[in-house]
Structures are given as C-alpha cells and as structure tokens.
Amino acid sequence: MADNKEILAGLAEIVDEVAGIDAAEVSADKSFVDDLDIDSLSMVEIAVQAEDKFGVKIPDDQLAELKTVGDAVDYIAKNQ
Amino acid sequence: MSTVDIVVTGLGATTPLGGDVASTWEALLAGRSGVRRIDDDEHEWVDRHELPVKIAAPLAVAPTDVLPRVQARRLDRCEQVALVAAKEAWHHAGLGDPKENPQVDPLRLAVVIGTGIGGAVTLLSQDDLLETGGLRKVSPLTVPMLMPNGPAAWVGIEYGAQAGVHAPVSACASGAEALAWAARLLRAGEVDVVIAGGAEACITGITVAGFVQARTLSQRNDEPERASRPFDVDRDGFVLGEGAGVMILERAEHAAARGATVHGRLAGAGLSADAYHITGPEPEGVGQSRAIAAAVRNGGLEPTDVGHVNCHATSTVAGDVGETRAVRKALGDHVVLTAPKSALGHMVGAAGAVESIITLLSVKEGIIPATLNLENLDPGVELDVVAGEPRKVDLQAAVCDSFGFGGHNAAVAFTKV
C-alpha cells in the first residue's frame, strides 16, 4: 500500500509521461484542467495508468469528480 | 485565366532522402537512393509473413527525433510527418510566431493536407491492444490518430488556421490534389495563405501485403537501390515510401506586403478522373492528359512554355508508358521528363506534394534531377528522360503529375517569379 506521498510522486510521473508536465508542478492543490491544462483525453490516459500503477478502479463518474491532484491522491489512498 | 497570382513562400519536407527540403534536394541531385532492405527487427512482419517484398523507402529521420515527446505521443506517424514538414515550411516562409505575432490573419489562413491511407499504424496497433488487453488498453486518442483528416487538423491547430481545414483523399494523388484545392481557395478570394501538401506513413504488414496482392510492388530485394526504375524496360513495380511535403501558398499581394521571399509561382492546377478502373490507369492517358492541359491552361500558359514534367512514373509496367502518352498529348514532344520515385520510392499521399517541391526547385535552380536506374529506356517512351546526371536547363515553367488508385489525376504547373 502506497502512502499519500508515494501516490503523489507516482501520479506526477504519470502526468509527466502523458502531458509532459514537470513533476514539481504536480502538487495537491493543482487543478488538472485549470492549472495543469490537461484535456479530457489525457485525463482518461492518466486514469488508466493510475489504475494499473496503484491497483484501483476509477469509474468514469468518479473520474469526473477528481478536480485536483489532491482529490486523485485521496481517492487512490482510500480505494487501493 | 486567373486574376489571383499565387506564390510559394515556404517549403517543408521529410523524406526517405532527408529530414528537410535541403537535404532531400541535395541527395536527389547527388543521385542517392532512399530504398533499403527492411527485413529487420523494426519490420519483423516481413519475415513472419514470408512477404516476397523485403524493401521499402523509410524516412531518413524519425519524426520522433524532431518533435517534442509529448506532442509526438499524441500523433499517428502520418500526423507526425505532416507536422514536421509544416513546421519547416512555416518557418521558411517567415510567418512568425503563430500565437504571439502571426504574419497572416488566422481567419484568412487555411490548411489543405491530404493523405492516401491515414493512420494505418494506429488502427493496427490499437486493434492489437483491444484483442490482447481489452477495452481499457485502447487509447482515447485512437480515433483522432487514425482519421485521415488528422494530419490537416493538427497542422491547423498548431498554426491557428480558422478559414478552413481540408483533407483531400485520392490515394497517390492526394498531395498534388491538396495543392490544387489550395489554389482554388486562394483564387476564390477566401484566404490569403494556405498551408498545403500531403503526408503518408503506412509501411506496415497489411499495406505491403495488399500492394503485393495487387501485383504493384517491385520484388528486386537483392538490389534495393536499383529496384525503383521508372521508364526502364526491366521495371517490376514501385517501392513503398513514406514522408510529407508542405508548401506555403500565398496571394502574391499578401506576400509582397509582408516582404516575404518568393521561391516561385503556382501558376495553375488541373484535376480530372478516369472513371475507368479502380486501380489501373486508362491506357491512352486521356484523363491524365486533360489534367495536365487544364493546369497549363488555367495557369495562363501555352504548352510550349512548359519545358519539363516531373512525372508520377512509379516504376510499374502499366503506368509509366501511358503517362508519357498523356504528356505528349497535352504538351507536345519538346518536354524533358524525370521520375523522382526512382530515388524516393512512392510516398503515396505525400508523393505529389514532395514532387511538387522538387518541380518548383527545378524551375528555380534551373536543374532537373536524374531518373535513377534508367539503363534501357522502354521503347514505348518517345520523350527525353533525364538519366545518369542531373541536367541544367533554363525553365520558364514545369508541371508535376500525380495520379492515384481510383482514377484520380492531378497536375500542378509552376513558373519562375
């Protein structure tokens, strides 16, 4: 089981791979859309990679609720 | 006769001979071939399916070596090459930063970039993922990567082209047809600048197998560099290539107003269709001849003004001689021919665009690259073909021919400034 810090670091790696955003930019308070400029197609890619990495399921209705990086970290921590 | 003067202000290409226009042109004049063996790890399907064709003309420079990583991973290979060529052409034309300081009104900027096949590599690889990993392994970018308007659309987004983005699909004529439609947009007064050309990247097992079954590819596997030999009696088919070519076409007044360097004029373009057979050309070249004649006529030229034709000539038994009949019918006996597919292979939807760039450079520089491997001219060819060495010729005008499966015929006429 990964702790929140490890989840954040893992997510930052995925965001860099998919969207080319430096890991230092990917902090808990950042909005995927408004701050990191990630589009809906890239969000699907990030979600699929996060599912594989952390062994969670992220249904589409949940994905829509994950507005910030912190939302995603919390969801993964609770559901892994 | 047109009232709108169209000039060429930018050129871009990535081909089996080089990653840009300059290296491609230099290699052509040096007589180098882009054809090589492909029965290697990257193309493991050649041996796995025991394909009788083990040669192709792959890109000299991988687009993923040139494009930013994140941009490249969202694109099919045919979209990547379109963007590589468009970036060179836009920069060459001095059109400025597209976001901060574009030298053209985005509402007067269009894109016309065609492809013959589109995102074949994506369609195949994503289907493999669906079969092996199920739905969730399929990329959400699958459809925008495989759609044949993808190359044009991505270029339109990159440069903010809001007057329209179009993607003519006419097999091997797509690149030249794109230039013809771009000319029509400019002459209709709808736009000031068009980013126009063609892109293709479909060296895959299924395309090679399909062309093999249509009996169109050369099987001269032991001599790759001698395989593509248009007009030679021993030709046995074309060699599949990949690449992209893009021209910046501009209303002459617009180019002059911003002080752009002009490399030549697109005088006219002609389109026609054979309505005869889905793959074979009409043997008398009637439709091809009409396209060539139309390009000359609507360019305000006489056949005697045209000194050179850059031929479609793919090195197939059926096509090459018929094309020379069409050229004679449209223009007469005085024109000098060359066939750049002898060096570049057949880049399908990119061919007409890259070869139009070569045609324009021949007019501008006064030199025609040689047709490689022309050792014994087919007796059916009654025109002068440049072979052996490039030939210095002062040209007022030249025509680029491009024909495609489906009976599509396109011809584009270029003149000096």
* Predicted local distance difference test score (pLDDT) of residue A1: 77
Distance between alpha carbon B304 and the CA centroid of its chain, in Å? Answer: 26
pLDDT attached to residue B1? 43
| Chain B residues in contact with A45 (beta carbon < 8 A) | 139-141
Q: What HEC string does B57-111 produce?
A: ECCCCCHHHCCCHHHHHCCCHHHHHHHHHHHHHHHHCCCCCCCCCCCCCHHHEEE
Sign of the CA dihedral running B208, B213, B217, B220? positive
Residue A2's pLDDT is 85
Measure the CA–CA gap between B368 and B402, rounded to whole angstroms. 18
CB-based contacts of B391: which residues, under 8 Å, 6+ apart?
B336, B367, B368, B370
- Residues of B368-392 as b/e, b for ≥16 C-beta within 10 angstroms? bbbbbbbeebbeebebebbbeebbe
In this prediction, residues A2-8 reach a mean pLDDT of 93
Can you give the pLDDT at residue B318? 85
Find, in chain B, the residue whose alpha carbon is nearest to that of A17: B70
Phi and psi torsions of B336, nearest 5°: -105, 135
Residue B350 DSSP one-character state: G
Residue of B nearest to A42 (CA): B140
- Tell me whether residue A39 is one of the annotated catalytic residues: yes
- Between strands B264-273 and B408-415, the pairing is antiparallel
Q: According to the model, what pLDDT value does residue B4 have?
A: 87
Task: Tell me what the mean pLDDT of segment A68-77 comes to.
Answer: 96
Q: What confidence score (pLDDT) does residue B280 get?
A: 86
Q: How far is CA A17 from the centre of its chain?
A: 12
A18 vs B contacts (CB less than 8 Å): 70, 73
**CB pairs < 8 Å spanning A and B:** 17
Q: Any bridge partners for residue B256, and if so which?
A: none
Task: Please provide the average confidence, as pLDDT, over all residues in chain A.
Answer: 94
Pairwise CB contact (< 8 Å): B70 & A51: no
Q: What is the ipTM of this complex?
A: 0.87
Q: Does A59 touch chain B (CB under 8 A)?
A: no
B57 forms bridges with which residues in the sheet? B241
Tokens of B83: 């963007």
Contacts of B144 in chain A (CB under 8 A): 41
Backbone dihedral angles phi then psi of residue B145, each to the nearest 5 degrees: -80, -30
Q: Chain A closest CA to B120's CA: distance in Å?
A: 20
Name the residue facing A20 among B70, B137, B144 (closest C-beta): B70
How far, in Å, CA of B51 to CA of B72, rounded? 30
Q: Which fold has domain B6-415?
A: Peroxisomal Thiolase; Chain A, domain 1 (3.40.47)
CB contact under 8 A, B141 and A41: yes
Catalytic residue among A34, A37, A39, A52: A39
Whether residue B140 lies within 8 A of chain A, CB to CB, comes out as: yes
Contact B136 A51 (CB under 8 A): yes
Residues of chain B contacting residue A25, judged by C-beta atoms under 8 Å apart: none
Name the minimum distance, in Å, from the CA of B246 to any CA of chain A.
Answer: 27
Q: What's A4-79's CATH class? A: mainly alpha
Domain chopping of chain B, boundaries: 6-415
**Per-residue model confidence as pLDDT tens for chain B (417 residues):** 457 899 999 999 999 999 999 999 999 999 999 999 999 999 999 999 999 999 999 999 999 999 999 999 999 999 999 999 999 999 999 999 999 989 999 999 999 999 999 999 999 999 999 999 999 899 999 999 999 999 999 999 999 999 999 999 999 999 999 999 999 999 999 999 999 999 999 999 999 999 999 999 999 999 999 999 999 999 999 999 999 999 999 999 999 999 999 999 999 999 999 999 998 889 889 999 999 999 999 999 999 999 999 999 999 998 999 999 999 999 999 999 999 999 999 999 999 999 999 999 999 999 999 999 999 999 999 999 999 999 999 999 999 999 999 999 999 999 998
Instruction: Identify all chain B residues contacting A40, using CB atoms and an 8 Å cutoff.
Output: 140
Measured distance CA(B340)–CA(B9) in Å, rounded: 23
